[in-house]
């Protein structure tokens, strides 16, 4: 009978199992976020098509028989769903940025505990290494290769923004009287600030740190760890 203390091998196995379990859980969360991103795009497209159908038959646009009268209050609330989608997208992007870095850290920790490797075209890599493999593509490719890939995110991000701004301007122009117009413009201006500031901070943080959240600086210094 032993002393009851786990052997070094058992300690390593327990640590490795904990790391793998956490990694698997975060990967599952990452997949759910990818599904959510697709859902946001689908909802935005459906909203855009629905608005075009509605506003295209509005009586102030079409004089045809059977045109749809659109009251001013409906114009006032039509842009709201786009702001809601934008807020959700910023939340998802922020969480995904933190998760990306955390998964890379878990991969490094698993590499230290495990000798598992897989052979791919060009050589062998440690298992798991997905986020280490994808990071150079999305962040650190030199020159035009990185910019060409990053431009895909720009297209995905800017398209709903442009559509949302167009809808907002169009709807505000059809809100009356002037007092309601000013109130609606003030409300949506405030919402744009609330959504835009976190988005801008995340973007510039990405440009400066390569998807490295500022929180990681505190964690390295031990300040944040003490709070938990």
- Please write the tens of the pLDDT for every residue from 61-111: 666 677 788 888 888 888 888 888 888 888 887 788 778 878 888 888 888
Domain residue spans of the chain: 8-217
Question: Tokens 């495990």 correspond to what residue?
Answer: 114
Burial 44-66 (b: 16+ CB within 10 A, else e): beebbeebeeebeeeeeeeeeee
Is pLDDT above 60 for 225?
A: no
- In Å, how far from its chain's centre is CA 207? 15
DSSP classification of residue 138 = I
Give the pLDDT band of residue 228 (cuts 50, 70, 90).
Answer: very low
How many alpha carbons fall within 13 Å on the CB side of residue 137? 8
Q: Specify the pLDDT at position 186.
A: 92
Give the pLDDT band of residue 5 (cuts 50, 70, 90).
Answer: low
Is pLDDT above 80 for 145?
A: no
Is pLDDT above 80 for 141?
A: no
Looking at every residue in the chain, the average pLDDT score rounds to 76
Beta-carbon contacts of 41 under 8 Å, excluding residues fewer than 6 positions away, are: 156, 160
Can you tell me whether residue 119 is helix, strand or coil? strand
- Please write the tens of the pLDDT for every residue from 149-189: 667 767 776 777 787 888 888 888 888 888 888 998 999 89
Tokens representing 83 are 């702001």
Residues 28-44, mean pLDDT to the nearest whole number: 82
Q: Kindly report the backbone phi and psi dihedral angles of residue 117, in degrees, each rounded to the nearest multiple of 5, phi listed first.
A: -135, 160
Can you tell me whether residue 201 is helix, strand or coil? helix
Give the pLDDT band of residue 130 (cuts 50, 70, 90).
Answer: confident
Determine the length of the chain: 228
Tokens representing 14 are 């327990």
Beta-carbon contacts of 33 under 8 Å, excluding residues fewer than 6 positions away, are: 92, 95, 96, 99
Can you tell me whether residue 5 is helix, strand or coil? coil
């Amino acid at each position: 009978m032993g002393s009851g203390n786990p052997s070094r091998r058992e300690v390593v196995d327990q640590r490795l199992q904990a790391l793998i379990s956490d990694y698997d859980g975060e990967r599952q969360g990452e997949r759910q976020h990818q599904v959510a991103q697709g859902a946001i795009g689908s909802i935005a497209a459906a909203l855009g098509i629905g608005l075009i159908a509605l506003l295209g038959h509005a009586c102030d646009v079409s004089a045809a028989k059977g045109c749809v009268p659109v009251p001013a209050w409906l114009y006032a609330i039509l842009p709201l769903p786009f702001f809601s989608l934008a807020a959700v997208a910023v939340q998802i992007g922020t969480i995904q940025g933190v998760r990306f870095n955390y998964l890379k850290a878990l991969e490094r920790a698993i590499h230290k505990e495990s000798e598992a490797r897989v052979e791919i075209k060009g050589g062998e890599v440690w298992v798991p290494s997905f986020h280490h493999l994808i990071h150079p593509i999305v962040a650190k490719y030199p020159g035009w290769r990185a910019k060409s890939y990053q431009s895909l995110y720009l297209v995905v991000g800017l398209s709903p923004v442009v559509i949302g701004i167009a809808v907002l301007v169009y709807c505000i122009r059809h809100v009356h009287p002037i007092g309601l117009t000013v109130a609606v413009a003030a409300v949506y201006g405030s919402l744009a600030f609330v959504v835009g500031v976190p988005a801008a901070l995340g973007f510039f943080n990405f440009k400066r740190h390569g998807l490295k959240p500022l929180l990681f600086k505190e964690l390295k210094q031990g300040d944040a760890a003490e709070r938990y």
